[in-house]
Homo-oligomer: A and B are copies of this chain.
């Protein structure tokens, strides 16, 4: 179901103003600095506050039309994973997770079963009979994720789902979310708040960047993250993204093949993107040929050179195949030594080990 929201809200000196749509089956990532209004936005969608002015519709239903909540939180079919885990302290872990199915009318047995399923999905099956007070921070976060998913909501709202998770759990849960959010035939709309561009890339079709309560950037995830237009987005993102079709060991693009390390859920033949940071792109003079380990080499022409903190960011134009519009970060010394300037033809090299292949979403 399509989520449509237009929100205006003032809280003390802070004011939020946002308008967006999330089509069915897609994920919108909301990025932004601390205090930019991300959690507030989710609260409005979940029906916890009435905005000062605005409308929220989900499919055919108008959930909020100021000045009234037309549909109460419990009738919205939302699942909210708030920033605090807030597990019910009096219920065991499995009953916490079974809470939503039970509330939505499933039998005791069926909802317990669903709960155990979701607990094993987040790798917390062995915690089922504990009380929340007996969990570590990361364990509680995993249980909270299971609880939000177990209700099979029409509208899923996730506030920093991967915070507090360790290096093994974070990719595993990211993979789980990807499976759940992108399951075939899924009509759910999801709004995901995160500070990590990888989450946005791995999970979201569209990105919306908030700053001080205003939408400063929006668009397809790969467009926003590969060509950020605000300094904040640039700092969290600024990655190279190349679109194509996944193959066994990399990505087939219109202009050639890129070797890379596929994420576990990439299927050969499916649309995918290759992601690599500008810092991992090496630049060589044109024609220089080297038999080194970097799998990916491609010819291009220097477009622009801009200082970017301590390094210089080079953007290519007119490249062979996929080299169009890539960014490479170089030290000023390297720029000087290679005598780079706009128009200089160069060869770019990127190690396959530095390239991640993710499934691609969106048009």
CA distance A142 to B35 in the complex (A): 11
The contact of A293 among B232, B309, B328, by CB within 8 Å, is B328
What number of copies of this chain does the assembly contain?
2
In the complex, what residues of B have CB within 8 A of residue A309's CB? Answer: 261
Contact B290 A34 (CB under 8 A): no
Query: Which residues of chain A (1-42) have a CB below 8 Å from chain B?
Result: 11-12, 32-36, 38-40
In the complex, what residues of B have CB within 8 A of residue A70's CB? Answer: none
Contact B290 A284 (CB under 8 A): yes
Q: Mark A272-305, 1 if CB is under 8 A from B, else 0.
A: 0000001111111100101111110000000000
In the complex, what residues of B have CB within 8 A of residue A164's CB? Answer: 34, 83, 160, 163
Does A236 sit at the interface, judged by CB under 8 A?
yes
In the complex, what residues of B have CB within 8 A of residue A142's CB? Answer: 34
Does A48 sit at the interface, judged by CB under 8 A?
no
CA distance A334 to B250 in the complex (A): 13
Q: Which of A195, A262, A347 has the most CB of B within 10 A?
A: A195
The contact of A330 among B169, B311, B329, B351, by CB within 8 Å, is B351
Q: How far is the CB of A330 from chain B (nearest CB, A)?
A: 5
Does A353 sit at the interface, judged by CB under 8 A?
yes
Which of A57-65, A132-140, A145-153 contacts the other chain? A132-140
Interface size on A, residues (CB 8 A): 69
Q: Mark A319-361, 1 if CB is under 8 A from B, else 0.
A: 0000000001111011001100000000101011110000000
Does A306 sit at the interface, judged by CB under 8 A?
no
Contact A169 B291 (CB under 8 A): no
Contact B282 A351 (CB under 8 A): yes
In the complex, what residues of B have CB within 8 A of residue A354's CB? Answer: 279-280
Q: Mark A67-91, 1 if CB is under 8 A from B, else 0.
A: 0000000000000000110000000
Closest to A195 in B: B166
Contact A160 B134 (CB under 8 A): no
In the complex, what residues of B have CB within 8 A of residue A288's CB? Answer: 290-292
Does A107 sit at the interface, judged by CB under 8 A?
no
Does A167 sit at the interface, judged by CB under 8 A?
yes
Closest to A141 in B: B34
Does A103 sit at the interface, judged by CB under 8 A?
no
Q: How far is the CB of A210 from chain B (nearest CB, A)?
A: 11
Does A249 sit at the interface, judged by CB under 8 A?
yes
Does A229 sit at the interface, judged by CB under 8 A?
no
CA distance A232 to B351 in the complex (A): 25
The answer to whether residues A330 and B83 also contact, given A168-B232, A349-B282, A351-B282 and a CB cut-off of 8 A, is no
CA distance A160 to B159 in the complex (A): 18
Does A104 sit at the interface, judged by CB under 8 A?
no
Closest to A291 in B: B285
- Going nearest first, the 10 A-B pairs with the smallest beta carbon separation are A34-B138, A284-B292, A283-B293, A329-B353, A331-B352, A279-B353, A293-B334, A83-B137, A35-B136, A167-B236
